[in-house]
Structure 1
Amino acid sequence: INLSLSLSRSQFCEDCRLYFRESCPHHGSPTFVSDPLVPECLPSRALLTLPEGLAIKERPEGGLGVWCTLPSIPRGCIFGPYEGEIVTERSNCTVYSWAIRENGSYYYVDASDETKANWMR
């Protein structure tokens, strides 16, 4: 069994601490939070994709952070996916790049361009 491939197509239950495919046998399906639909190429697209109930604010220690404006976020809630441009060469990555392993190879999602990225950058 290819454990890395198997786990990459699975979800993780925070309560059971187990991986599952469709839904957790004990806690059901997770809650997925979608971004609002915003066309690419808008200058502040990344900020406009922020889901309801979240806010981007300055952090006391500097930089930006994402804050919940609701009383709470349900445990096991899933945000994403991380959006940006697909990059195949690691040398083209930035601090906004995530590595994705698929079928034993890596590609990267670079969110440095705010017109193509979402709020998760």
Structure 2
Amino acid sequence: MQVSEDVCAQLEDELLFCEDCRLYFRDACPQHGAPTFIADSPVPARAPSRALLSLPQGLLVKERPQGGLGVWSARPALPRGCIFGPYQGEVVLEHGACTLFSWAVRENSSYFYIDASDDSKSSWMR
């Protein structure tokens, strides 16, 4: 039985990926175990500066040497393969309405976008 590309793409969207093994997995990588999920700091929806306030403990936002802002870790170490997220913002259906803070998401062979330009509706990942 041959599986269509659409079904394969949909299955990929539901899986996680191990950078070391280069394999997709559902709950845990067979060789490296379950990933570590690093949760955002809880902040009420629509709070002013919600994006910055949602930064997980142990991470810092600082000016980058080449300009702009970047995220640095103040933790002793981040576990290899740790997972941050989700990327939060407003759903946009048209590519033309995207901003610098938009992220494309594929679902069932089509795309929608998460626009994180409003920092009261987004998270630190913007």
- With normalisation by structure 2, the TM-score equals 0.92
The answer to whether the aligner puts 1:97 opposite 2:124 as a matched pair is: no
Per mean C-alpha deviation after superposition, the further-off stretch among 110-119 and 8-17 is 8-17
Letter of the 1:114 counterpart = D
In 2: Cα distance, 1:112 partner to 1:40 partner: 15
* Structure 1 residue runs without a partner (length 5+): none
In the TM superposition, what is the alpha-carbon distance from 1:71 to its structure 2 partner? 1.9
In the TM superposition, what is the alpha-carbon distance from 1:47 to its structure 2 partner? 0.4
In 2: Cα distance, 1:14 partner to 1:88 partner: 30
In 2: Cα distance, 1:3 partner to 1:58 partner: 41
Letter of the 1:107 counterpart = F
Per mean C-alpha deviation after superposition, the further-off stretch among 110-119 and 21-30 is 21-30
How many pairs are equivalent? 121
Alignment of structure 1 residues 32-111 onto 2, 5 Å: 32-111=37-116
Per mean C-alpha deviation after superposition, the further-off stretch among 34-43 and 54-63 is 34-43
Match of 2:91, SS state, is strand
In the TM superposition, what is the alpha-carbon distance from 1:84 to its structure 2 partner? 0.3
RMSD: 0.9
In the TM superposition, what is the alpha-carbon distance from 1:24 to its structure 2 partner? 1.0
Letter of the 1:45 counterpart = R
- With normalisation by structure 1, the TM-score equals 0.95
Q: Deviations over 1:43-72 (max 9, x none)?
A: 110000000110000001110000011122
The answer to whether the 8 Å contact 1:5/1:102 transfers is: yes
* Structure 2 residue runs without a partner (length 5+): none
Letter of the 2:13 counterpart = S
In 1: Cα distance, 2:41 partner to 2:106 partner: 27
Percent of pairs with identical residues: 60
Per mean C-alpha deviation after superposition, the further-off stretch among 14-23 and 95-104 is 14-23
Question: Which residue is equivalent to 1:4?
Answer: 9
